[in-house]
Chain A
Amino acid sequence: DAKTTQPPSMDCAEGRAANLPCNHSTISGNEYVYWYRQIHSQGPQYIIHGLKNNETNEMASLIITEDRKSSTLILPHATLRDTAVYYCIVRANYGGSQGNLIFGKGTKLSVKP
Chain B
Amino acid sequence: EPEVTQTPSHQVTQMGQEVILRCVPISNHLYFYWYRQILGQKVEFLVSFYNNEISEKSEIFDDQFSVERPDGSNFTLKIRSTKLEDSAMYFCASSAGTGLFFSGNTIYFGEGSWLTVV
Contacts and interface: CB of A to CB of B under 8 A. Distances in A.
28 contacts: A30-B100, A41-B39, A41-B89, A41-B112, A42-B112, A43-B91, A43-B93, A44-B91, A45-B109, A46-B107, A46-B109, A49-B106, A93-B103, A93-B105, A94-B97, A94-B101, A94-B105, A95-B31, A96-B48, A96-B55, A97-B55, A99-B48, A99-B97, A100-B33, A100-B56, A103-B35, A103-B42, A105-B42
Nearest to B111: A43
Given A94-B97, A104-B42, A99 B106 contact: no
Nearest to A32: B103
Contact of A95 (B4, B37, B50): B50
Contacts, number: 74
B107 A97 contact: no
Interface of A: 30, 34, 38, 41-46, 49, 51, 87, 93-97, 99-105
Contacts of A43: 4, 91, 93, 109-112
Give the secondary structure class of A's interface: loop
Interface in B20-45: 30-31, 33, 35, 37, 39, 42-45
B98 interface: yes
B82 interface: no
Contacts of A44: 43, 91, 109
B102 A93 contact: yes
B61 interface: no
A94 to B, nearest CB: 5
B110 A96 contact: no
A96 B107 contact: no
